[in-house]
Amino acid sequence: MKNASILHTANEFVSKGDHEGFLAYCTDQTKWVFVGERTLNGKEEVRTYMEEFYEEPPVFNVEKTIEEEDFVTVTGEIRLKNKAGEYEHFYYCDIWRFEEGKIAELKAFVIGKPQ
């Protein structure tokens, strides 16, 4: 599970609020697609997104990780602090694509979790 290990290591940086540490694991042309919401093209757009939405580090609860060739699929729950300082809870399914050991693409399906 080489790419899965890389992803989980990279996400440890996100959990610590170290965006640059995480971005070191991404290609310069990384593309993030949040299905039905937005698409981020390149490290700069991802950096800006992280600065806005990960002002407080998100809290992940990983349920499953599946790796096949250059793809890693992760399911679980995430908590994000909103601008009012309250946590919002979501279910997610992320499909990550790797190129030469770096994150090249994310396709994320995120659904609000009823409280």
The CATH number of the domain where 39 resides is what? 3.10.450.50
Helix, strand, or coil (residue 53): helix
Give pLDDT, residue 63: 97
CA–CA distance from 101 to each of 45, 62, 71, 76, 98 (Å)? 21, 21, 11, 23, 6
Domain that holds residue 25: 2-112
Q: What is the pLDDT of residues 40-77, one digit of tens each?
A: 999 999 999 999 888 889 999 999 999 999 999 999 99
Distance CA 83, CA 108 (A): 22
Distance CA 36, CA 39 (A): 9
Residue 29 has pLDDT above 90, yes or no: yes
pTM: predicted TM-score of the whole model, two decimal places = 0.92
Please state the domain count of the chain.
Answer: 1
